[in-house]
């Protein structure tokens, strides 16, 4: 990246006309000065608007190249030697390193990560099954870690919901759109399947996980607009331009990268002793539509609210009235109890 000339980078920003003007000036014997000096430099003619733009671009890109090169030369910190790395390429930029140090050294970051790790195994089965079904790296389990802290009923002020914090239109495009009675975004299995298909498509479209995760965070259309506006599909370029990506998006991508590294190296970050939640085992039981969950709790001899916690997608507290039958998740042993007591319900 840093080996490209300033002219190549300028052309990427659509200033071909300005480059041609420089070439024409050289051909007629004019001096083409690439130094900072501005329009009033001694002995030069007036600087056109296009040339002023070109000079600004060259100076800006030269400064950014120096900053970017220093980051690449620095690379991973010495304390990261010997870490197991994810299957997804990791950029050792300052953002990622700061997050790693935050999770390792800062009490707040360490405590938050410990809580996430403790919850990470509760819904690991549907998450990892969905990723595997799409041929995606297991490391992407860190997306719901950052999105919702593995809380299947999490909701944002902007309307995103579930483990993967899917917006309603996005979920609908991938077969998990909410209705009056059911919000599949709150279902760990269905939301994971929708999110995995979305991530697969974004990676296929953009060709890199950094861009795919950026689109997941800021929106597919928003990333397309940014790429067209700045005439580049390079993540680091977009991240380095002040208005290229929203400030939060590169932070989000680096945070996920840091979480991937932590989960691969629990002992190195001080999390080897964290007690992880047992995976939620479930059975399935078919019931008629329109039944209240608390009635089913009572019939199965469960505490009130148990079936609601196992079926968070049933946002009205009952099976959808318009459905003849509904497959309900129940705790192990509850299906047998419901079958024995089913006569009382019918």
| Confidence band of 69 (pLDDT split at 50, 70, 90) | very low
Is residue 122 one of the residues assigned to a domain?
A: yes
Residues 86 and 213 in one domain: yes
Say yes or no to pLDDT of 73 above 50.
no
- The residue whose two tokens read 């990622």 is 96
- The residue whose two tokens read 């709790």 is 297
Pick the last residue of a domain from 29, 47, 74.
Answer: 74
| Confidence band of 58 (pLDDT split at 50, 70, 90) | low
Give the pLDDT score at 18: 38
Say yes or no to pLDDT of 92 above 70.
yes
Give the pLDDT score at 304: 94
Residues 320 and 193 in one domain: no
Residues 95 and 240 in one domain: yes
Mean pLDDT of the chain: 84
Respond yes or no: is residue 336 known to be catalytic. no
Range of 128's domain?
A: 80-264
Is residue 190 one of the residues assigned to a domain?
A: yes
Say yes or no to pLDDT of 184 above 50.
yes
- The residue from 58, 59, 147, 236 that is catalytic is 147
> Looking at residue 117, which CATH number applies to its domain?
1.10.530.10
Residues 26 and 131 in one domain: no
Q: Which of 36, 57, 38 is nearest to 48 (CA)?
A: 38
Say yes or no to pLDDT of 60 above 80.
no
Residues 163 and 144 in one domain: yes
Residues 70 and 85 in one domain: no
Is residue 277 one of the residues assigned to a domain?
A: no
Residues 133-168 as b/e (b if ≥16 CB within 10 A, e otherwise) read ebebbbbbbbbbbbbbebbbbbeeeeebbbbbbbee
Residue 202 CA to residue 212 CA, distance in Å, equals 5
Span 304-314, average pLDDT: 96
Give the pLDDT score at 269: 97
Is residue 36 one of the residues assigned to a domain?
A: yes
| Confidence band of 71 (pLDDT split at 50, 70, 90) | very low
Give the pLDDT score at 5: 44
Span 151-160, average pLDDT: 95
Residues 251 and 190 in one domain: yes
Is residue 278 one of the residues assigned to a domain?
A: no
Residues 29 and 176 in one domain: no
- Give the 3-state secondary structure of 143-183: HHHHHHCCCCCCECCCCCECCCCECHHHHHHCCCCCCCCEC
Residues 112 and 215 in one domain: yes
Pick the last residue of a domain from 231, 264, 297.
Answer: 264
The half-sphere exposure of 73 on its side-chain side, counting CA atoms within 13 A, is: 7
**Could you tell me which residue, 152 or 42, shows the higher pLDDT?**
152
pLDDT tens, residue by residue, 249-275 = 999 999 999 999 999 999 999 999 999
| Confidence band of 42 (pLDDT split at 50, 70, 90) | very low
Number of compact structural domains in the chain: 3
| Confidence band of 6 (pLDDT split at 50, 70, 90) | very low
Longest Cα–Cα distance of the chain, Å, equals 100
Residues 157 and 257 in one domain: yes
Residues 141 and 240 in one domain: yes
Is residue 97 one of the residues assigned to a domain?
A: yes
Is residue 269 one of the residues assigned to a domain?
A: no
Is residue 237 one of the residues assigned to a domain?
A: yes
Pick the last residue of a domain from 230, 264, 298.
Answer: 264
| Confidence band of 327 (pLDDT split at 50, 70, 90) | very high
- pLDDT over 70 for what percent of the chain? 79
The pTM assigned to this predicted structure is: 0.76
Residues 61 and 192 in one domain: no
Say yes or no to pLDDT of 137 above 80.
yes
């Amino acid at each position: 990246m840093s080996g490209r000339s300033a002219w190549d980078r300028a052309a990427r920003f659509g200033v071909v006309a300005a480059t041609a003007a420089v070439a024409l000036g050289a051909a007629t014997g004019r001096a083409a000065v690439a130094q900072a000096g501005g329009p009033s430099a001694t002995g030069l003619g007036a600087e056109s608007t296009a040339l002023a733009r070109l000079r600004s671009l060259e100076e800006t890109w030269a400064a950014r190249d120096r900053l970017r090169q220093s980051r690449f030369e620095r690379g991973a910190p010495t304390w990261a030697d010997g870490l197991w790395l994810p299957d997804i390429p990791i950029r050792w930029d300052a953002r990622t390193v700061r997050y790693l140090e935050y999770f390792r050294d800062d009490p707040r970051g360490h405590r938050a990560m410990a809580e996430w790790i403790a919850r990470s195994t509760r819904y690991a089965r549907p998450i990892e099954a969905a990723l595997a079904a799409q041929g995606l790296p297991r490391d992407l389990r860190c997306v719901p870690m950052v999105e919702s802290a593995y809380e299947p009923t999490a909701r944002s002020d902007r309307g995103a919901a579930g483990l993967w914090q899917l917006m309603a239109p996005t979920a609908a495009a991938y077969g998990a759109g909410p209705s009056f009675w059911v919000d599949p975004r709150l279902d760990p299995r269905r939301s994971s399947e929708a999110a995995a298909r979305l991530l697969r498509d974004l990676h296929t479209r953009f060709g890199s996980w950094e861009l795919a995760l950026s689109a997941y965070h800021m929106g597919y259309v928003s990333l397309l607009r940014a790429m067209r506006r700045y005439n580049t599909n390079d993540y680091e370029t977009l991240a380095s331009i002040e208005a290229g990506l929203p400030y939060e998006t590169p932070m989000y991508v680096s945070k996920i990268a840091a979480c991937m590294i932590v989960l691969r190296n629990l002992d190195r970050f001080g999390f080897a002793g964290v007690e992880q939640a047992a995976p939620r085992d479930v059975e399935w039981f078919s019931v008629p539509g329109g039944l209240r969950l608390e009635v089913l709790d009572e019939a199965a001899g469960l505490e009130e609210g148990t079936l609601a916690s196992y079926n968070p997608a049933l946002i009205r507290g009952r099976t959808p009235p318009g459905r003849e039958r509904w497959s309900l998740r129940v705790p192990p042993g509850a299906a047998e109890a419901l079958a024995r007591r089913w006569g009382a319900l019918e």
